[in-house]
Structures are given as structure tokens and as C-alpha cells.
């Protein structure tokens, strides 16, 4: 996990933060429902992915921050599960964990939130308002007291983190959230929900967002429909691991197959598999293709998208076990 930080400036913070982060100690909360129409640049698969992510790790909503195009070089390395700290002027006013960075610039959402298209690199975050001195940050990480960030975005090098008293990113973020959270009347800070197990929570977000990237990669490469029955409502589609996570199957999209929830279950239970040479569907003999609701008896169209060694690993397990249950 990496830590990114951006200098905003007092005036811009006062103008922009209330619209997307929060103000007066209260977080702004966005939900995917209602936001969708401002994301015409974003593919359906990515949006359905975002909805699932929201359900899993941000059911109380999320914050949104937009970075100018000029920050692209620095934030191209930003991945889900990383952290973004926003520096108002002499103090950090917000820290959030990256739930998702939109895969392409979204001029429409920038315009909707901030009334201008200048912040198209858009990041969905779950975080907390904080009040943490810039000078203390510089001190903690051995950065020169005279260093001026001036509107730019930067990331904290691994060496600075490991050499600091915190030792790792998660410890540092947990520490500033606990010590410097801005509490406000009557409303518990979100952070309190996972105070005791903050670093565990951070890892969970990292893992979940990794899985959601897998889903989004697989759906965008294979198309958003079940490989064997054409069911195409995104909410009912899964990116199934051909070699499952339980057997240390990877998140390489070539180890994935788009299946509807029903066929995912039947596939995992070993009621059918794929011949790794012909890419034909093989059923176990008790039930027919029709019984299983399988419309396509082959996935040849996915020949160069799904890796044959994943299918052959799967078929091998099936043959060895005479059907298997994960």
C-alpha cells in the first residue's frame, strides 16, 4: 500500500471540500445510486463493479476527490487500497483509503461536482476528516522543514516509511486516524467502527478491491454475459476463478470466466467443466446440458482470453476427484 498526498491550498479547500469530502466536521457521503448518470465515460462493467464494492466495503457511502490531469504521472501508480491525504495548507484535513480510481478521466463527474472539468482523475475514497500538522508529517518522515508541495501531488517513498517510527503504512494511517480524527457532535467517526482492528480493515479493503479489479478485468475482456447461458444482468454475473482462490488460483484475468450466479455455483460444484483442448463443455453424465440450463456447449470464442492451463488444471481436478466441491 502506498501513501499519496496532495496540497490543495486554503481557498480551494474551502471551495471544493464541502462538495465532495465534507465540511464542519461532517463527512460528505456519496452512493453509486444517483451518481451513475454522471459517469458516461465509464463502462458498465466498471460501474457494476463499483456497486458491488460499495456494498461490501463502503455501505455508508464514500467521498470523492478529483485530481488535475497534471497529477497523472504520480497517480498512475495509485491502486485500490492505497491512501490519499489531502493537505489544506499547513495541516492535513482528510485521509482516505482508495476504494477505486476511475479507469479513464471523467470530465462529466468533475463538472457535476465542482462545476468545472479540471479534476478528471477521480478517486472514490473511504476516510476521515483529520487535523494533522504538515510540519509534524515532515518531521516524522525526515522531509526538509522548508519543503513546499505547492499544489502538487506526491507519494511517500517506502524507505521513508520503513525508516519512520511507524514502520509501515497501515500503522501510520491507523495512528493518525486515531489521534487526529476530527470528531463532531452526535455522530461517531467512521473510523470508530474499525478502531481496534484498523490494519486488518485496511488489508480487507485491499483484498476486496483486488477481487473487484479481477471482476472488472474479466468482465471487460469477455463481455458482460454468462459464458454458457447468455444471462447478462451485471448484478447477477460473477467473475469465476477457474483455478479457485482456495487452491491459490491467481487474479490473472485469464484465470477468470464470466458466469451467472447459477452457473458459477454449478461450475464450482463440478457439475460441468471445459475440455482444455476443444474448449467444449463437459457434463458429468447425471445431468444433461439442458438440465443444467447450458445453452452454449463450447466457449471457443474465449480461446485466447481464458488460459488453457487454467481449464486443464480444473479438468484435471475434476477427473481426479470424480467431481469436486470447493
- Our CB check for Zn ion shows the closer of 64 and 226 to be 226
By the 8 A CB rule, do 309 and 243 touch? no
- Our CB check for Zn ion shows the closer of 28 and 225 to be 225
Beta strands in 134-291 (DSSP E): 153-155, 237-241, 256-260, 272-274, 281-283
CB of 283 to Zn ion, least distance (A): 14
User: Would you state the cell numbers that stand for residue 319, as one nine-digit string?
Assistant: 477427473
CB of 256 to Zn ion, least distance (A): 15
CB of 272 to Zn ion, least distance (A): 11
Residue 12 to residue 111: CA distance in whole angstroms: 15
CB of 98 to Zn ion, least distance (A): 32
Angle at 80 between CA 59 and CA 151, to 5 degrees: 105
**Residue that the C-alpha cell 492451463 belongs to:** 309
CB of 253 to Zn ion, least distance (A): 19
Q: Among 45, 1, 40, 41, which residue's Cα sits nearest to residue 256? A: 45
- Our CB check for Zn ion shows the closer of 175 and 280 to be 280
- Our CB check for Zn ion shows the closer of 35 and 260 to be 260
- 119 phi and psi angles, rounded to 5 deg: -125, 65
State how far the alpha carbon of 307 is from the alpha carbons of 250, 252, 256, 263, 304, in Å: 12, 10, 9, 19, 7
- Our CB check for Zn ion shows the closer of 5 and 231 to be 231
- Our CB check for Zn ion shows the closer of 78 and 299 to be 299
Residue 205 to residue 209: CA distance in whole angstroms: 6
- Our CB check for Zn ion shows the closer of 125 and 240 to be 240
Bridge partners of residue 237, in order along the sequence: 260
CB of 65 to Zn ion, least distance (A): 38
**Residue that the C-alpha cell 475482456 belongs to:** 221
- Our CB check for Zn ion shows the closer of 65 and 231 to be 231
User: Would you state the cell numbers that stand for residue 96, as one nine-digit string?
Assistant: 482516505
Q: Among 19, 88, 28, 84, which residue's Cα sits nearest to residue 58? A: 28
By the 8 A CB rule, do 8 and 85 touch? no
- 187 phi and psi angles, rounded to 5 deg: -115, 125
CB of 13 to Zn ion, least distance (A): 49
Q: Which residues bind Zn ion (CB under 5 A)?
A: 226, 229, 231, 260, 263
CB of 305 to Zn ion, least distance (A): 17
Query: Chain-centre distance of CA 295, in angstroms?
Result: 33
- Our CB check for Zn ion shows the closer of 61 and 293 to be 293
CB of 236 to Zn ion, least distance (A): 9
* DSSP summary character for residue 321: H
Residue 3 to residue 170: CA distance in whole angstroms: 10
Amino acid at each position: 500500500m502506498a501513501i499519496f498526498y496532495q496540497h490543495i491550498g486554503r481557498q480551494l479547500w474551502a471551495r471544493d471540500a464541502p462538495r465532495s469530502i465534507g465540511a464542519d466536521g461532517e463527512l460528505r457521503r456519496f452512493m453509486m445510486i444517483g451518481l451513475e448518470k454522471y459517469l458516461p465515460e465509464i463502462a458498465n462493467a466498471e460501474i457494476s463493479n463499483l456497486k458491488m464494492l460499495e456494498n461490501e466495503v463502503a455501505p455508508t457511502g464514500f467521498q470523492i476527490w478529483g485530481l488535475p490531469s497534471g497529477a497523472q504521472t504520480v497517480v498512475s501508480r495509485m491502486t485500490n487500497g492505497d491512501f490519499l491525504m489531502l493537505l489544506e495548507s499547513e495541516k492535513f484535513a482528510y485521509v482516505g483509503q482508495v476504494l477505486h480510481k476511475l479507469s479513464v478521466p471523467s470530465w462529466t463527474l468533475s463538472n457535476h461536482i465542482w462545476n468545472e472539468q479540471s479534476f478528471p482523475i477521480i478517486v472514490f475514497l473511504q476516510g476521515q476528516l483529520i487535523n494533522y500538522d504538515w510540519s509534524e508529517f515532515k518531521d516524522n518522515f525526515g522531509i526538509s522543514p522548508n519543503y513546499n508541495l505547492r499544489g502538487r501531488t506526491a507519494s511517500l517513498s517506502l524507505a521513508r516509511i520503513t525508516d519512520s517510527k511507524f514502520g509501515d503504512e497501515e500503522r501510520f494511517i491507523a495512528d493518525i486516524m486515531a489521534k487526529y480524527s476530527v470528531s463532531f457532535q452526535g455522530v461517531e467517526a467512521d473510523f470508530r467502527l474499525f478502531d481496534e482492528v484498523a490494519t486488518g480493515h485496511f488489508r480487507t479493503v485491499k483484498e476486496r478491491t483486488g477481487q473487484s479489479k479481477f471482476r472488472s478485468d474479466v468482465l471487460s475482456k469477455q463481455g458482460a454475459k454468462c459464458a454458457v447461458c447468455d444471462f447478462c444482468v451485471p448484478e447477477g454475473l460473477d467473475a469465476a476463478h477457474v483455478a479457485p482462490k482456495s487452491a491459490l488460483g491467481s487474479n490473472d484475468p485469464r484465470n477468470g470466466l464470466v458466469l451467472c450466479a447459477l452457473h458459477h455455483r454449478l461450475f464450482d460444484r463440478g457439475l460441468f467443466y471445459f475440455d482444455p483442448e476443444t474448449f467444449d463443455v463437459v457434463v458429468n453424465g447425471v445431468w444433461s446440458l439442458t438440465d443444467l440450463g447450458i445453452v452454449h456447449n463450447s466457449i471457443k470464442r474465449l480461446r485466447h482470453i481464458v488460459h488453457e492451463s487454467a481449464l486443464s488444471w480444473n479438468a484435471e481436478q475434476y477427473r481426479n476427484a470424480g467431481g469436486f466441491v470447493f
